[in-house]
Amino acid sequence: MSAVDAPRAGEPLLTVSGLSVSYGPSPGARGRGTRVLSGVDLTVRAGEIVGIIGETGSGKTTLARAAVGLVRPEPGAALRFAGHDLVRMRGAELREFRRSGALQYMFQDPLRSQDPELTVRAVVAEPLAAARRGDRRERAARADEALRLVGLDPAAHGERTPGELSGGQRQRVSLARALVTRPRLLITDEPASALDASNRNLVLGLLARLRAELGLAVAVVSHDLGSLAGLADRVAVLYRGRLVEDGPAAEVLEAPRHPYAALLAASAPRVGATGGPRPAQLRPAADREPWPEGLGCVFAPRCRFAGPACEREPEPAPAAGSAPGPAHTVACHHAADWRAEVAA
C-alpha cells in the first residue's frame, strides 16, 4: 500500500481546523508572541484549486507553511492530510509520509530555493535524493519527466545551472522540483507575482493543466484576487490572521459577502467582470483609529459598514447563509445588509 492513499476527486484531502500561530515567545513564556493566525479552518479537496488570498500581514503564507510543517501551530489545531494526522505524526509514519512527497510546497523565490552550483536536472531531482528514492539514473529520468511536464526540454535545459535561465524558466524549474515526487497536493506561495505578464499566464496556465492532466490539488497563495479568476475553484480570504470569507471563486469575485473581499474584488479589474461595488463605495469616508486587539471586528477600522455592534463584538465565526449551492461562508455581522446598502 502506498504511504499516502489519496481520496477520490472532490473528497477532503487537506483539512485544517482551529489553526492558530504565534511568532515570538510561546504562550506562557515571558513576553507576548505575535498572533498571526487565529482559529482558521480550511479544506482542500482532491483535484481542487484553492486560492488563499490576503494582503501582506494577513497570515496567508503562515497558513501555507503550517500546512506543510514549516511552522508549528499553537496547541488545539488539527491538520489532516489523506487520513494522516500532521500534528501528531511521529517516527516511522512521519518518515514514510515525508518520503512519499505527497504534499509539496513551492517557495516564492526560485533563486533562494535553487542551489546555483547544481545543474537544473540535479535541482529537480533533489527531493528524490533527499528521500533516497531510486538510483541516480532513475532520479534523472524522473527529473526529465518533470521538466517536460512544465514545458522545459531536458536536453536543452537539464545540464544548465539555474543562473543561466530566465526568471520564468527558473519558476518552472521550481514547479518541476515540486512535481518530481508526484504529489497529491501542491501548495505554492505567490507562484507568479514576480513574473512579467506572459510568464505569469504561462505558470498559472500550467497549474490548470497539471490539475486537469494529473488530478493534482493546488493551493495558491496570492495577494491578487484577480489573478485567480478562471483558475481557482474556491477562494479563501484572510484578513489579519482571520478567515473572513471562503466560497466558490466565481461567487467571491462577482458577489463577495465580506466587505474586505469586496474591496479586493473591486481593486482587481478583470476582463468580463459584470459590475459589483466600486472601491469608493466600500472605503470609509475617514480613517478610524485602530483599536486594541480583540475588541470588535478585526476589519471594523477599515469598514464603511461598521455599526456599534461591530466595534464591541468580535466578528462572528465564518458561517454559511441560507443561499443554496456550494458552501460559502463569511465572518460578518452584516453580510446581507451591507450589500443591500450598496445596491440601493
Number of residues that bind ligand SF4 (CB under 6 A): 14
Q: Which residue, 133 or 333, is less far from ligand SF4 as judged by CB?
A: 333
Q: Which residue, 156 or 295, is less far from ligand SF4 as judged by CB?
A: 295
- The one among 54, 183, 191, 259 contacting ligand SF4 by CB under 6 A: 259
Strand ordering across the sheet containing 12-23:
34-45, 12-23, 78-81, 84-85
Instruction: Give ∠ CA 147-94-218 in degrees, rounded to 5.
Output: 40
Minimum separation from the CB atom of position 316 to ligand SF4 (A): 7
Minimum separation from the CB atom of position 205 to ligand SF4 (A): 34
If residue 339 lies in a helix (H) or strand (E), which one and from where to where? Answer: helix 335-343
Q: Which residue, 328 or 334, is less far from ligand SF4 as judged by CB?
A: 334
Residue 252 is a binding residue for ligand SF4 (CB under 6 A): no
> Under a CB-based contact definition with an 8 Å cutoff, are residues 254 and 273 in contact?
yes
Q: Which residue, 98 or 283, is less far from ligand SF4 as judged by CB?
A: 283
The closest alpha carbon to 158, from 116, 124, 192, 186, belongs to 124
Q: How, if at all, do strands 329-330 and 234-239 pair? A: unpaired
Query: Which stretch in 97-105, 140-148, 277-285, 331-339 sits in contact with ligand SF4 by CB under 6 A?
Result: 331-339
Residue 239 is a binding residue for ligand SF4 (CB under 6 A): no
Question: 10 Å Cβ neighbour count for 316?
Answer: 12
Binding flags for ligand SF4, 261-300, as an x/- string (CB under 6 A): ------------------------------------x-xx
Minimum separation from the CB atom of position 296 to ligand SF4 (A): 7
- The one among 66, 172, 303, 318 contacting ligand SF4 by CB under 6 A: 303
Residue 48 is a binding residue for ligand SF4 (CB under 6 A): no
Q: Which residue, 110 or 259, is less far from ligand SF4 as judged by CB?
A: 259
Residue 274 burial by CB count (10 A; 0-12/13-18/19+): exposed, middle or buried? exposed
- The one among 81, 97, 105, 338 contacting ligand SF4 by CB under 6 A: 338
Residue 37 is a binding residue for ligand SF4 (CB under 6 A): no
Q: How, if at all, do strands 329-330 and 319-320 pair? A: antiparallel
Q: Which residue, 225 or 303, is less far from ligand SF4 as judged by CB?
A: 303
Distance CA 225, CA 229 (A): 7
Q: How many residues does the chain have?
A: 344
For residue 297 the three cell numbers come to 471586528
Q: Which residue, 81 or 305, is less far from ligand SF4 as judged by CB?
A: 305
> Under a CB-based contact definition with an 8 Å cutoff, are residues 253 and 270 in contact?
yes
For residue 39 the three cell numbers come to 482559529
Distance CA 213, CA 221 (A): 22
- The one among 97, 105, 107, 305 contacting ligand SF4 by CB under 6 A: 305
Residue 333 is a binding residue for ligand SF4 (CB under 6 A): yes
Question: Residue 62 contacts by C-beta under 8 Å, 6 or more apart in sequence?
Answer: 21, 36, 37, 71
Residue 240 is a binding residue for ligand SF4 (CB under 6 A): no
- The one among 139, 172, 257, 334 contacting ligand SF4 by CB under 6 A: 334
> Under a CB-based contact definition with an 8 Å cutoff, are residues 128 and 180 in contact?
yes
Q: Which residue, 205 or 314, is less far from ligand SF4 as judged by CB?
A: 314
Question: Residue 78: helix, strand or coil by DSSP?
Answer: strand
Write out the residues near ligand SF4 by the rule CB under 6 A: 258-259, 297, 299-300, 303, 305-306, 310, 315, 332-334, 338
